[in-house]
Structures are given as C-alpha cells and as structure tokens.
Amino acid sequence: MSIYTISDLHLSFSTDKPMKIFGGAWNHHEEQIKKDWLAKVKPEDYVILPGDHSWALRIEDAVEDLKFINQLPGTKVLLKGNHDLWWGTARKMEEWKQQHHFSSLLFLYNDSIAVSSSGKVYAIAGTRGWLCPGDNEYKAPADEKIYLREASRLRASLEKADKILNGVSPEKRGEIIVFLHYPPYNQQKNTRFTQYIEEYRVQSCYYGHIHGFTDAERDDATRTAIRIQENGALYSLVSCDYTGNRLVKVTE
C-alpha cells in the first residue's frame, strides 16, 4: 500500500469557474489528474489532498466535485483550503458524507490518521495553515489571530500523531508526515509551523496554495524555493499545476 498526494484540484463541475482561464496548465486539468490517478493508485492506497478541492460556496453545491474524488481509487484524506468555503463543521461534514455515500473520503480535523504502508505505520498530521508573518499580504492583528490558531491546531495534530507512533512497535514505526494547505514558511524564515514541525522531528511536509508557474520554474525547484530542506525537514509544493497534474508518491 502506498501514500500519494496532490493539492488544489479546484473542481467546478457545478459552478461556472473554468480554470483554463489561468493558463495552459489548467486546460482540462481534472481529466489529466484522473488519468494519472487511475494509472497509479490502487484501491488499498491513500491519497492526501491538502485543500482547495471545490469552488462551491455551499456544501450542497460541492456534491459533484466530491463525487468525482470519491469515485477515484483509494482512500482520500481531505484537508481544508482557503477556497473551500463549502466546508462545514466536523459533524455536518460526516452527516453529508454519509448522505451521499462518499465512503472513500476522510476529513482531517485537528486530528491524526494512522496509515500502514510497506509494513510501516505512518501518522498523517496537518491543518489548513495560514499566511505567515513577513508575507506581503499578512496584516496584524487580524491575520495574527488566525495564524496562531492554525499553528495551535497543527501542534494538536502533531501531538496525536506522536501518540499514534508511540503505540507502534519500533520495527513497524514509520514517521509523522505533515500536510498543510498554506506553505508553512515565508521567504524560508522560521515560523510557528516550522517550529512545531521540527519539534516533532518531521522529515516530510507537503503543501499547496501556490500557483502560476512558468515551465522553467517548474523545472527548477531550488531556484524558486518551493522544495527546500530546512533543519531536517523537506518541504515540498504539490499544487496540481506545479506537479503537471500528476500525483506525488509519498511512501512506497
């Protein structure tokens, strides 16, 4: 069993939000994602989706977009993105999921999920995240309140992930893998997010939210600072327009 990830599908099967207006990378992007997904993912695999799944504003308008995801192979773990305005409370989401028989979807809320892969147990942790201090769009005190709240949610998720792995025998113990919608750093500076990631000895963190790359930028991850190694953790961008609408393998 393997773990994959891809972010920012921005589906709009029930809303008039064609992504192709944002450039060639978005032309029929959902078809490209589906093709790659079907070629890679087996029913027993997990796919982590770190936010911005649907352009819907209301949960009832997100049905067709989530149906598309639900019908693809594997168990899908969804985190909230900044454009997921349809996203409701944990209870409401679970009731809605049962109502529409979306049995292959899991919603990650201030929690951690244990996933077995190649004989190891991994703990999936994460939250939406937020703009970090130093970002051009960051404005205190409004953004600071959300930033600190999201950092606290990440820490709570990491605590639960740590407990999961502590309950696993050493020979089967994998690692904590973190998924966020927003990048956890700004201009490669330390943040509350990176502080907690390093505190819990996380080796891999995946995020989305960032878009708009030229072909040259997609080919040069070092120059664009979207895949960096910092204090033992590897931070990787997995927005679908950056990955070429291909899923990224996290574990074998």
Question: How does pLDDT run across 28-53, given as a tens digit for each residue?
Answer: 899 999 999 999 999 999 999 999 99
- Asked if residues 201 and 192 have their Cβ atoms less than 8 Å apart, the reply is no
Q: For the chain, how many structural domains are there in total? A: 1
Q: Which amino acid is at 6?
A: I
Alpha carbon distance 250, 205 (integer Å): 10
Bridge partners of residue 4, in order along the sequence: 47, 249
- On the question of a cis peptide bond just before residue 184, with omega within 30 degrees of 0, the verdict is no
Q: Which amino acid is at 244?
A: G
Residue 249 confidence (pLDDT): 95
What ranges in the chain are assigned the alpha helix state H?
A: 29-40, 63-70, 90-99, 142-166, 192-199, 215-219, 240-243
User: What is residue 136's DSSP assignment?
Assistant: T
Question: How does pLDDT run across 170-207, given as a tens digit for each residue?
Answer: 999 999 999 999 999 877 678 999 999 999 999 999 99
- Domain range holding 9? 3-251
pLDDT at 16 over 90: no
Higher pLDDT, 10 or 216: 10
Question: How does pLDDT run across 106-163, given as a tens digit for each residue?
Answer: 999 889 999 999 899 999 999 999 999 988 889 989 999 999 999 999 999 999 999 9
Residue 91 confidence (pLDDT): 93
Question: How does pLDDT run across 213-229, given as a tens digit for each residue?
Answer: 666 665 554 434 456 77
| CATH code of the domain in which 131 resides | 3.60.21.10
Tokens of 60: 């009832």
Percent of the chain residues past pLDDT 90, beyond the cut: 76
Residue 224 confidence (pLDDT): 42
Task: Centre a 10 Å sphere on the Cβ of residue 228 and count the other Cβ atoms it contains.
Answer: 16
- Asked if residues 10 and 19 have their Cβ atoms less than 8 Å apart, the reply is yes
